[in-house]
Structure 1
Amino acid sequence: MHSNPHLPADLLDTTPGSATRGVFAPPAGWEGSEQDYAALIRDRFDARETQARILFIVKYAAQGPVTCAGPYATMAARIIHRLVKKCGKECYNLVVK
């Protein structure tokens, strides 16, 4: 599976306001705890317009390596891992930087 340049799936930058502006990056200037970050991603998962992007990344992670980078990389990897497990597959392809 190849990532779409408009929707990068193999590198997730969790830096607030990151240039990739991916679904796992909080908005610019955002500050929060890991719990706040988890709530932000949960809200994005509940929103129809961002849920599909999250599920695309989860599907990608179930099939190939995904690197999570930035201040919330560990939490993003945990979230993706949980979602992959809910889909019935283990995900051992997450790299945290």
Structure 2
Amino acid sequence: MFVLLLCVGMVFLSACSKGIGEEELKQLHTGMTKSRVEEIIGGHGEMIGETNDDNYRTYTYKYQGEKGGYVIIIYETDFNSYATARTVKAYENHDLK
């Protein structure tokens, strides 16, 4: 019984972290918040870089594709703005299928 529950749980969890697909990528645009991006994608990416300068902090995330490839999304936070949310500055498609 335990093994059956474990298998069902693993299938459920793998379905939750499907990755980004072409349809989700089409919905992304600059200025979108990180929370909205991850709501569309249905999961979190892996932070692979962070830089700071006098006015901005930039974060680079990698999101795995649901059928291969990946997308890099660069977010930034403006230190001079009252809004501190990370917003999309740019994104790159790397052989997303």
TM-score interval (norm. to shorter): under 0.3
Alignment TM-score, normalising by the size of structure 2: 0.27
The structure where strand makes up a greater share of residues is 2
The answer to which structure, 1 or 2, has the higher relative contact order (CA under 8 A, 6+ apart) is 1
Alignment TM-score, normalising by the size of structure 1: 0.27
Larger C-alpha radius of gyration, 1 or 2?
A: 2
